[in-house]
Amino acid sequence: MPCAFHAMHVVPFSEPDSLDCQFSVSDSSLIKVDQKMWCAYHCPMLDQTGRPTKKATWNEREHRSFREEIERLQKHAIERSSLLNLTGVVFPGKVEFRNVEIPAVSFYQVTFTDHVWFSGSTFTSNATFEAATFIDGARFNETIFNGHAWFKETTFNGDASFEGTTFKRLAWFEETTFNGDASFQAATFIACARFDETIFKGHARFDKTTFTRQASFDETTFNGEAWFEETTFNGDVSFPSSGNTYGGEEVKAKVFPCANFQGAFFGGSVSFVNRRFLQPTVFRHCVFERAPEFHGCTLHQGTVFPPRQNFKDVTSEGAAQAYRTLKLAMEQTRSRQEEAMFFALEQASHRAQKTTPWSIQILSFLYEKAANYGESFLRPLGWLAMTTFIFIILYCVFSYDPTNKIWHLMESVQFAMEQLVRPFSAWLPNGGIAIKAILGNKSSAVLGLQILSTAQALVSLSLITLFILAVRRRFRLG
């Protein structure tokens, strides 16, 4: 009578297509549980009523025999470069695979009933933990996965630690449930990493983790704190949610209870679409190589963003829309300085688009140079002082008397200052007095001086207006 266990193969393995019990055991060694016969490896620890089975009462000799058989199978698979097939095994007691070499291995539907250690070990090929259950804590610290690492639909009931782990190929944690804390601190994902629809019921820590390629957290649920401090995302990363509600209640996958991205580097596109941030989220010192997408998000008024120079993208097609979304979000929370920053980024992105009319591009360019899109009130004053000095020089050139070699410097200064106080005064009836003080008898230059003073008045009025608007934007209330 064979063992009652049966399973189908899963990726990343193509063999076998279907699987009955893979262990050679005698009928006399089978254990009866719930009217079924099980081998010692697949036998559950509890029956359907929750009572301990015979396997749960094993003595030390039986535990040692179980471990020795697993070690024998491991060495055999390494020697033959074959699959270590532990599909469906129920491990009694603590399990240690520390600092060992593990060949291609299937832990599909495996149950680890106690603490398990894989720290310091090397998986030489593909490894699947799909649908596995970790009853207690799991440690994969400093582990190296040379092949695909498959954790789809895995359940971690205790704390799970992947600190310093290296994933050289695809790391798949889709639909995985972490009931305790999960730590991926200083881990390295060389290929794609997928955490779609994963549930973190405890804290999730990805501090100083490196994602070399795409990282996906679509519909991921964070019930505790989510830490991505000093994390490096060299590829695209997404944290979107569908934004759906069920029965009038918001789905948990839409919410970030607490998130910290301080010092993170986003080298590709980044999406937080439809997320709701319940507490202040820290993006201080972050660098965004592409405009981040927060469409449909609800941001806490305590959200901290990096300075404008940390947003590198003003040329991509969706940049203007991405910054417009953040500008409107900052307007809702009355964060005036951040609102001005994202307005500036929006305008710079809009100007960079080929579809933007050239007249708008020129005005946008001048607005940026003159007042940094309203962010600076000192820059217009600086330009005003510089242009006034330039016009004083020009007035001196007009006033130069080559016969007597006289430069009417004081008269030029007074005339320039008068254009600041009384713009366009050169066209007034009494404006000729000031003009005559500069030109003397050179009546042929009067019109030229009037046009030049008009140019100064227009430039000066524009700069003074920009100064007033910048001051008002920075210090306005509500």
Spatial neighbors of 302 by CB under 8 A, at least 6 apart, are 279, 280, 281
CB atoms inside a 10 Å sphere around CB 124: 18
| Nearest alpha carbon to residue 83 among 40, 126, 143, 118 | 126
pLDDT score at 203: 96
| Nearest alpha carbon to residue 31 among 64, 4, 62 | 4
Q: How confident is the model at residue 409 (pLDDT cuts 50, 70, 90)?
A: confident
Give percent above pLDDT 70 in the chain: 90
pLDDT digits (tens, 9 = 90+) for 18-65: 578 888 888 888 999 999 999 999 999 999 999 999 999 999 999 999
Say how far apart CA 416 and CA 50 lie, in whole Å. 95
Coil, strand, or helix at residue 390? Answer: helix
Say how far apart CA 471 and CA 434 lie, in whole Å. 33
Q: How confident is the model at residue 209 (pLDDT cuts 50, 70, 90)?
A: very high
Burial class (CB in 10 A: 0-12, 13-18, 19+), 49: exposed
Q: Which of 114-128, 171-185, 283-297, 384-398 has the lowest mean pLDDT?
A: 384-398
Q: Which of 29-43, 78-92, 225-239, 408-422 has the lowest mean pLDDT?
A: 408-422
pLDDT score at 445: 66
Token pair for residue 343?
């307005």
Q: How confident is the model at residue 151 (pLDDT cuts 50, 70, 90)?
A: very high
- Greater confidence (28 vs 168) lies with 168
Whether the pLDDT of residue 88 is over 70: the answer is: yes
Cα 319–320–322 angle (5° rounding)? 65
Amino acid at site 382: G
CB atoms inside a 10 Å sphere around CB 363: 13
pLDDT score at 448: 77
Q: Which of 9-13, 332-336, 385-389 has the lowest mean pLDDT?
A: 9-13
Cα 442–446–448 angle (5° rounding)? 120
Amino acid at site 320: A
| Nearest alpha carbon to residue 473 among 370, 365, 377 | 377
Domain ranges of the chain: 83-370, 378-475
Q: Which of 167-171, 199-203, 469-473 has the lowest mean pLDDT?
A: 469-473
Cα 432–438–440 angle (5° rounding)? 80
pTM of the model: 0.83
pLDDT score at 396: 82
Amino acid at site 168: K
Whether the pLDDT of residue 436 is over 70: the answer is: no
Q: How confident is the model at residue 414 (pLDDT cuts 50, 70, 90)?
A: confident
pLDDT score at 299: 93
Residue 66 phi, psi (nearest 5)? -65, -45
Q: How confident is the model at residue 205 (pLDDT cuts 50, 70, 90)?
A: very high
In this structure, the strands spanning 138-139 and 36-38 are unpaired
Whether the pLDDT of residue 435 is over 90: the answer is: no
Section 349-367 average pLDDT: 92
Q: Where are the alpha helices (DSSP H) in 190-240?
A: none
CB 206 within 8 A of CB 230: no
| Nearest alpha carbon to residue 91 among 120, 71, 116 | 116
Q: How confident is the model at residue 320 (pLDDT cuts 50, 70, 90)?
A: very high
CB atoms inside a 10 Å sphere around CB 315: 13
Q: Where are the alpha helices (DSSP H) in 211-335?
A: 319-332
Amino acid at site 298: T
- Greater confidence (394 vs 179) lies with 179
Mean pLDDT score across all residues of the chain: 89
pLDDT score at 25: 84
pLDDT score at 387: 92
